[in-house]
Each structure stands twice: as C-alpha cells, then as structure tokens.
C-alpha cells in the first residue's frame, strides 16, 4: 500500500514540471519532466479519477510536459505528422478503439451450477463496454501520444537528439548508484521511501544475488533502461572528440558493468549485440539492423499464429545457456499460446478492457493466465486493428529514416539518430517478451520520425531560439524572443 509520500510526489510533480519549464531550455525541460517522472515517481500508486485514465507516473509527466509546452510557453505542437503513412497510423491508433468498444457491449458472466439442482449461482461478472469507456480509452490513447508529438517537433534536430542521448546517459549514471546499492543490500529503496514493494520479491533474486528495481515496475524495466543509457553513452563517445571521447568511453564501460550486474539475460544480449554496432558500424548498417528487428516485432503475432516461430528450438538453445531462463521462457510461450486462442475468438477488434482478454476460470472468474509481452496484451485487447496501429506507429519512423538514409547514401546523417533508432528497435523486440512500452519509447519514436521528416523537408520546422550557448553550437535568436538559456 503506497504511503502518503507516494501520493504527495504525484501531486507535486506538476509543480516540479513547472519549475523545469521555467528554468531549463525547452528540449531539456521536456526530457527531464518525462524521464525524471519515469525514474523517480512511485510505481503502482495512482489517482483513479472518473471518466479519465488513471493518473500515475506515466500519465502525469506526459500531460504536464504537453500542457506546459503548449500552454505556458505557447509553443506549437503539431497534432498530425507530415508524412501520410504516419498520419494514417496515428489516426488509426486513436480511433481503432471505437470498433473495439462497439463490439464488446456484452458482459462476461461466470456462474456455477449448484450440484444436481437446476440452480445457477452468479459468481462474478466482467461488465460490457459502454460509450463512457470509449471516451476514457480515447483520452488514454491521446495521452500516450503526447511524448511522441513533443519529440517529433522539439527533439528531432541533431542538436536535440544529442540532448536526448545525454539525458539518458546522465540519468543512467545517476540511477546506477541506487541500483548498485540494491544489488548489494537487496531491493529496499521503494519500500523505504514509498512504503511498499511494487512487485513479487522473488523476481528480484537471481544467481545467488539480487536484481535492482529502485522505483521502476520490475527489474527488467531497470535493466532495459540501463541498456538504453549504455547505448546513448556509446553514441556520444563515438561522436565526441578529445578528452570528452575518453570520458564517455569510460562511462560506457561502467554502464556495461552495471548492466551485467542487473542479471537480465535479454538486456545483456541487446548490449552485446548493439553496442558494437553503435561504436563501429555505419549509419546504413545500423538502420538495416533496426529495420530487421522492427519487421520481426510487427509480424510476430502472424508468425506465432502460423506456427513459424521455432519455440522448441529457441527453448533448446535457452536450456543450453540457462535451465532457469529456459523454464521462464517456456512459461511465457505457454501463456502466449492460450492467450492467442482467446484473441482468435475476436481477432479484428479484440476483447476490450477490464481484463476481458485474459483467460479466467469459468466458474470463479479467477485469472489463470499471466500475460508478459506487451504485444499479446494489445493484440488481445484491441485485435489486429489496434496492434497494427500501435506497432505501425512505432515502426514507421524506422522505415522512413531508412528510406532517407538510403536516398542520401548514408551521407550527412546525424550520428545520434541511428543510435536512438537501435534503442527503439531493441525495445520493440523486448516488448515481445515484456510489457516495457514506456514514455521514453514514444520519445525515441517521435524523435526519429521528426528527424526523417526534416531530412525530407528541411523547412518543415523552424527554430526560434538557440539550444546551446558558449562553446557549443550557437544559433541566431530574434530580439523579440525571450531568452531561456539558464540551465
């Protein structure tokens, strides 16, 4: 049960966001408002308000960043992408929930027969979806897109992409300190600060030690974040010159050590695979790998339905590496199989919310399936329409960037864009195993989409103020615009 401090932090974050937007340049304010909320606010704790989505560590920072950018600073945030494909996918992402609600108005009733008597006892019921549920779900879809829209406009230039990677690097280095403490003493920080433990404690014990979790929902979330910070630091090291390259290189080695101690096989595999690409490969090869991963992510449900995913061979390989990890992976595959059978009953628009997509005991209503991957949650809830809209919107920036890199033959490409693309692609693959879609993922997708659109049309966005001063990049500023250079 979250304590009073947990709810107080949620209430105070709008004030923290206001301070950030008054004191920092716009790009940094957006980044630290969303990233800081993700890393510091309490998990699980939320305000359950009527007719709107739950207000928690994901929604509050996204709303505040968007409102302060558009309302306080009067900055324009275009609501639709410029490219037709991304525009169609965004509209579909918001409105694909309409047929889901319209086709799930019937309640799901759980009942038990009283012995041999023709008496049926109602044990539980999942309500059907109503018009007010449609409003709530559509509002949630819009809130989810807010980081995406902000990043497309204000985090898509090469300079602001450098800011994004630098924020990930700094946050990773700072977050490594409480993470190392939890590796040493066991995950206790969330309990000490917010008065509760946010997950199953057994999930934090691996290989005779502990996996850190700090203020995130699960140890796997923290490991994936450390992987993202490692990728960001490696990209900055490659682009830097002189002593800065050495400092970023040493920071990358340190973050890789922390990632290893997080004891997450998947995130460690991402690090071993993608860090050399960021450090050594050309932009064309980096985007090719990102596109290949995106293709696997978006077609996985189809391949799984057709039996083309060699689950037995994958389990055999996992068994050779770690029997415990193979057992965990096999459990995920088993749950995927039964949830796919459930989703096949309503393949186009899904079952909707209230846990209607899960497998339950038909007499008691108790949940007997545990969905792990984000893809099966979306696929079961919104069907093919919702799944293709979400995954298409996340994958389309990689496709558009790949087209632009091919058109330019890899020349004049930001060294930061492909690193962000690989972070996004790795997260898409991880979403096949875990529910790891977070606001930072949408920031990465929006940044890539905006950058690809800038390459196609350099006049699409205009800058009204400098992002850097001093020894950094200096850009002209109109005399009438208000200076926001304090950091």
At 22-41, the pLDDT tens digits run 999 999 999 999 999 999 99
Domain-wise residue ranges, the chain: 1-76, 82-134+162-456
In whole angstroms, what is the distance from residue 54 CA to residue 51 CA?
A: 9
Residue 67 pLDDT level (bands cut at 50, 70, 90): very high
Residue 119 pLDDT level (bands cut at 50, 70, 90): low
Q: Dihedral of CA 280/282/283/287: which sign?
A: negative
Q: What is the pTM of this model?
A: 0.90
Judge whether 80 and 148 are in contact, CB under 8 Å.
no
In whole angstroms, what is the distance from residue 216 CA to residue 194 CA?
A: 12
pLDDT score for 121? 57
Residue 122 pLDDT level (bands cut at 50, 70, 90): low
Residue 349 reports pLDDT greater than 60: yes
Query: Which tokens belong to 368?
Result: 């007997």
**Secondary structure string (H, E, C) spanning 28-96:** HHHHHHHHHHHHHCCCCCCECCCCCCCECCCHHHHHHHHHHHHHHCCCCCCCCCCCHHHHHHHHHHHHC
Q: Residue 15 phi/psi, 5° resolution?
A: -70, -40
Residue 288 pLDDT level (bands cut at 50, 70, 90): very high
Start-to-end CA span in the chain (Å) = 37
Q: What is the mean pLDDT of residues 280-305?
A: 92
- Collapsing DSSP states into helix, strand and coil, what is residue 431? coil
Answer with the residue of higher pLDDT: 335 or 287. 287
Beta-strand relationship, 120-126 and 108-113: antiparallel
Q: Residue 126 phi/psi, 5° resolution?
A: -100, 125
DSSP state of 263: T
Please, what is the average pLDDT of the chain? 88
Say what percent of the chain tops pLDDT 70: 92
Q: What is the pLDDT of residues 257-284, one digit of tens each?
A: 999 999 998 999 999 999 999 999 999 9
Judge whether 283 and 275 are in contact, CB under 8 Å.
no
82: burial class by Cβ within 10 Å (0-12, 13-18, 19+)?
middle
pLDDT score for 479? 46
> Vertex 408, ends 405 and 413: CA angle to 5°?
60
Residue 375 reports pLDDT greater than 50: yes
9: burial class by Cβ within 10 Å (0-12, 13-18, 19+)?
buried
Of all helices (H) and strands (E), which one includes residue 344? none
pLDDT score for 482? 38
DSSP state of 108: E
pLDDT score for 475? 41
pLDDT score for 112? 64
Across 293-302, 307-316, 386-395, the highest mean pLDDT is recorded for: 386-395
């Amino acid at each position: 049960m979250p304590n009073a401090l947990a709810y107080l932090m949620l209430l105070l974050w709008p004030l923290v966001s206001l301070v950030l937007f008054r004191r920092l340049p716009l790009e940094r304010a957006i980044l630290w408002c969303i990233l800081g909320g993700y890393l510091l606010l309490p998990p699980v704790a939320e305000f359950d308000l009527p007719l709107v989505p739950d207000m928690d560590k994901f929604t509050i920072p996204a709303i505040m960043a968007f409102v302060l950018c558009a309302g306080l600073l009067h900055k324009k945030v275009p609501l639709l992408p410029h490219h037709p494909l991304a525009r169609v996918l965004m509209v579909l992402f918001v409105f694909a929930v309409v047929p889901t609600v319209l086709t799930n108005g019937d309640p799901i009733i759980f009942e038990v027969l009283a012995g041999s008597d023709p008496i049926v006892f109602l044990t539980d019921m999942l309500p059907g979806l109503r018009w007010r549920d449609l409003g709530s779900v559509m509002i949630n879809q819009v809130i989810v897109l807010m980081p995406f829209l902000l990043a497309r406009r204000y985090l898509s230039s090469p300079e602001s992409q450098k800011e994004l990677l630098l924020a990930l690097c700094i946050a990773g280095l700072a977050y490594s300190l409480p993470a190392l403490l939890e590796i040493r003493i066991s995950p206790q920080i969330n309990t000490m600060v917010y008065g509760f433990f946010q997950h199953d404690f057994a999930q934090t014990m691996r290989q005779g030690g502990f996996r850190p979790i700090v203020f995130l929902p699960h140890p796997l979330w923290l490991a994936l974040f450390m992987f993202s910070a490692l990728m960001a630091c490696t990209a900055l090291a490659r682009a830097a010159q002189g002593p800065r390259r050495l400092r970023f290189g040493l920071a990358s080695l340190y973050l890789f050590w922390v990632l290893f101690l997080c004891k997450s096989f998947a995130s460690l595999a991402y690090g071993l695979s993608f860090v050399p690409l960021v450090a050594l490969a050309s932009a064309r090869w980096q985007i090719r790998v990102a596109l290949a991963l995106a293709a696997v992510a978006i077609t996985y449900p189809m391949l799984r339905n057709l039996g083309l995913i060699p689950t037995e061979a994958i389990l055999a390989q996992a068994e050779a590496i770690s029997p415990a990890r193979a057992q965990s992976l096999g459990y995920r595959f088993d749950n995927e199989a039964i949830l796919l059978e459930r989703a096949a009953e309503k393949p186009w628009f899904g079952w909707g919310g209230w846990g209607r997509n899960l497998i339950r005991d038909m007499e008691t209503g108790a949940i007997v399936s545990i969905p792990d991957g984000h893809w099966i949650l979306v696929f079961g809830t919104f069907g093919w329409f919702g799944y293709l809209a979400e995954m298409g919107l996340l994958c389309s920036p990689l496709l558009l960037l790949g087209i632009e890199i091919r058109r330019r033959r890899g020349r004049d490409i930001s060294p930061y864009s492909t690193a962000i693309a690989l972070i996004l692609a790795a997260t898409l693959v991880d979403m096949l195993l875990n529910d790891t879609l977070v606001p930072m993922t949408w920031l990465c997708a929006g940044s890539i989409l905006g950058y690809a659109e800038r390459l196609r049309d350099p006049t699409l966005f205009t800058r009204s103020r400098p992002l850097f001063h001093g020894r950094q990049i200096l850009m002209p500023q109109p005399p009438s615009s208000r200076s926001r250079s304090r950091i």
